[in-house]
Amino acid sequence: MRWRKFNGETIHLPIYDAVEQVITRETAAGYHLKVCIGTDSQVKGQETEFATVIVFLREGHGGFMFIHNERTYQQYSIKERMLVEVAKSIEIAYELCNLFTIYNIDMEVHADINTNPNFKSNDALREAMGYILGMGFAFKAKPEAFASSSCANKIVS
């Protein structure tokens, strides 16, 4: 998996090591961190592009993110695509959760799923919420799910 910073700079370390480096640097600088992980997708013709982000929030001092993009030609229903987004977020959250436990950092998984039943993405809400909570992660959906609905959304738009 290739990750990059928002400025386009490639992250050459394995993502676990890069995140640990960020945690040690930021906590040494006196920041209290919170991490939010989310994925969004965009269908462009036959192609679906996914963007997964790891958002590092410095409490009261802004934040920054790491980004991973992926493209596929597989066709999805809206519900399937929402659940694939959630699965991509959970995959990275699971890979990193030990770090967050070691360093006592709060982490949330954000799903780009609308809590309003009038939106098509709402069909996936119950399954997504069960999946995330069942893995033991904190869950946020729209409108609180900024990592997926704002940060990742900007990458695939």
In whole angstroms, what is the distance from residue 3 CA to residue 55 CA? Answer: 13
Task: Check residue 76 and give its pLDDT.
Answer: 95
104-134 pLDDT, tens digit each: 999 999 999 888 888 887 888 989 999 999 9
Task: Check residue 114 and give its pLDDT.
Answer: 86
CB 146 within 8 A of CB 36: yes
pLDDT band at 77 (very low <50, low <70, confident <90, very high): very high
Task: Check residue 116 and give its pLDDT.
Answer: 86
CB 110 within 8 A of CB 140: yes
Which CATH number applies to 3-156?
A: 3.30.420
Strands 3-5 and 10-11, sheet pairing? antiparallel
CB 124 within 8 A of CB 79: yes
Q: Say if residue 136's pLDDT is above 80.
A: yes
What residues does each domain of the chain span?
3-156
49-74 pLDDT, tens digit each: 999 999 999 999 999 999 999 999 99
* Listed residue (113, 117, 119, 54) closest to 84, CA to CA: 113
